Amino acid sequence: MSLTSLSVSELCTLLERKEIKAEESVLSFLEKIREQEKKISAFLLVLEEEALARAREIDRKKEKGRLAGIPVAIKDNILTRGIRTTCASRILGNFIPPYSATVVEKLEKEDAIIIGKTNMDEFAMGSSTENSAFFVTKNPWDLRRVPGGSSGGSAAAVAAAEAPASLGSDTGGSVRQPAAFCGVVGLKPTYSRVSRFGLVAYASSLDQIGPLTRTVEDCALFLQVIAGQDGRDSTLSSQPVPDYLKEMKEDLRSIKVAYLKEDVIKAIDPEVKQMYLNVLGLLEEMGAELHEMDFPSWEYALACYYLLAPSEASSNLARYDGVRYGLRHPSAENLKEMYLSTRTEGFGPEVKRRILLGTFALSSGYYDAYYLKAAKTRSLICREFKEAFKKVDFILTPTTPEPAFLIGAKEDPIAMYLSDVFTVTANLAGIPAISIPVGLTKQGLPIGLQVMADYFQESLLFKLAFLLEKKVKFKKT
């Protein structure tokens, strides 16, 4: 039995029974990383010595946390004290944070072991991990294809069994889309369910940290650990954190499920569409009540997102100016020249594109025409979701319009942005959404299904995802 093939829950059982040690667990995954990293390139930094030292420390402890001995990969826009955090950008190439993100502290409190920092699209701007300043991560199912993005490294690490779980960030689908491409489970929690303290901001009103795991049960366990208050994120909800693992396994009866109209999905990949319809048919056989969704604002969601997110990014990324930390161009003769040279050299093409988009949308004379209209559209989308969840328990969509595409296939930025067409709505509304793998294409590529629920209804979300996982029986790598 290979330890790297086990889920987090299975590993926890072995560790609790003392059938294996934390050091043995870490060594197994480090060996897997050594075997696979040259072809996958999921990690920007592997913490071999640190992870082994931490494992030995945990093995000596008498009282251990819920994740004792479990290696976890962390997306490189989540701060880790004393460990380089770059956001896959040259402008932060040597940045060493003086503190850790709340989610990292919570994981370490439960004795999880940080095994490395994963590759990503620079500052989380992208859908393929091709926008990393350092290298492109490959999809473990087909090395010619992207793993998705921006949390592509985190998804690829779990899919390649280099880590049993990872954390990513989701601004418009950046956990769910790579989860779908890589055949793993990915969750975007309700906005304010998980602290954003220590997450390097892309778009603050949209960003949310979420887990990527091999199973729904593992996903529920990780949310249980990372959710809840910390006193450092003023947007964090005071609602208590439910027992997701317990509630997930309770009976789910008399459910009402909304699905997309034919005209919304008519242009997507035929195999993705068929798999979506198959799952709807399966739910109907199980007794679910299906409702066609009337969502007039759906067609405006993508345009709305790509005005609001870059606008927030243009403000958030203004701090990278060469003055306080990060890259500073050495030969500038004055302040203006230093700003210009540092940001020109430090930011990649996609980041520059989104800064320009956002600055334009916020500029005098265009604010009302673009940003304000997008903000009003977002309010309308939120209202439509609230009305929908008065009638149904879940909304089901494909996670992505197509399976993982070939590296270099989408040079047109607009074509790349369309990858987020099914995922951005959950971020705009702030509702929870999960992607689970439900099948393979004829070429052997994973297909993901997205399930959305009402605010703070993650327990309900896990129930349906857990039920579908058992029924579908997706074959993992």
165 and 100 in a common domain: yes
218 and 321 in a common domain: no
352 and 242 in a common domain: no
State whether residue 400 is helix, strand or coil. coil
Can you state the angle between helices 270-285 and 458-472, rounded to 10 degrees?
100
State the pairing for strand pair 394-398/289-292.
unpaired
Q: Taking the CB of residue 339, how many other CB atoms lie within 10 A of it? A: 17
pLDDT at 322 over 90: no
pLDDT at 476 over 70: no
Query: For residues 328 and 24, which has the higher predicted lDDT (pLDDT)?
Result: 24
Q: What is the mean pLDDT of residues 65-77?
A: 98
Is there a domain that residue 50 lies in?
yes
Would you please indicate which residues are annotated as catalytic (active-site) residues?
A: 75, 150, 174
State whether residue 169 is helix, strand or coil. strand
At 353-404, the pLDDT tens digits run 999 999 999 998 889 999 999 999 999 999 999 999 999 999 999 999 999 9
Q: What is the mean pLDDT of residues 305-311?
A: 96
Is there a domain that residue 423 lies in?
yes
181 and 94 in a common domain: yes
Number of domains composing the chain: 2
At 237-293, the pLDDT tens digits run 999 999 999 999 888 888 999 999 888 888 899 999 999 999 999 999 999 999 998
Domain's final residue, options 378, 406, 439: 378
234 and 334 in a common domain: no
Q: Taking the CB of residue 135, how many other CB atoms lie within 10 A of it? A: 13
Is there a domain that residue 292 lies in?
no
Contact partners, residue 460, CB within 8 Å, separation at least 6 = 252, 393, 394, 453, 454
326 and 230 in a common domain: no
pLDDT of residue 253: 84
Q: What is the mean pLDDT of residues 73-93?
A: 97
Domain's final residue, options 325, 349, 378: 378
Q: Taking the CB of residue 333, how many other CB atoms lie within 10 A of it? A: 8
186 and 55 in a common domain: yes
348 and 321 in a common domain: yes
Q: What is the mean pLDDT of residues 289-311?
A: 92
pLDDT of residue 333: 82
pLDDT at 157 over 80: yes
**Alpha helices, H only, 61-112:** 102-109
Is there a domain that residue 273 lies in?
no
pLDDT of residue 167: 98
Contact partners, residue 190, CB within 8 Å, separation at least 6 = 208, 237, 430, 431, 432, 455, 456, 457, 458
| Pair 214, 164: CB distance under 8 Å | yes
Q: What is the mean pLDDT of residues 448-475?
A: 95
457 and 358 in a common domain: no
Domain span at residue 45 reads: 3-253+394-472
pLDDT of residue 264: 87
Domain's final residue, options 318, 349, 378: 378
Is there a domain that residue 177 lies in?
yes
Is there a domain that residue 290 lies in?
no
What average pLDDT is seen over the chain?
A: 95
pLDDT at 477 over 70: no
Residue 75 belongs to a domain with what CATH number?
3.90.1300.10
368 and 401 in a common domain: no
Is there a domain that residue 261 lies in?
no
Query: Which of 43-52, 213-222, 280-289, 362-371 is predicted least confidently?
Result: 362-371
Is there a domain that residue 284 lies in?
no
Rounded to whole angstroms, the Cα distance separating 302 from 381 reads 11
State whether residue 405 is helix, strand or coil. coil
Contact partners, residue 259, CB within 8 Å, separation at least 6 = 280, 290, 291, 292, 293, 395, 396, 397
pLDDT at 414 over 70: yes
Buried residues in 416-447 as b, exposed as e (16+ CB within 10 A): bbbbbbbbbbbbbbbbbbbbbbbbbbeeebbb
445 and 359 in a common domain: no
**1 falls in which pLDDT band (50, 70, 90)?**
low
pTM as predicted: 0.96
At 165-195, the pLDDT tens digits run 999 999 999 999 999 999 999 999 999 999 9
154 and 29 in a common domain: yes
Place of tokens 């029974």: 17
State whether residue 185 is helix, strand or coil. strand
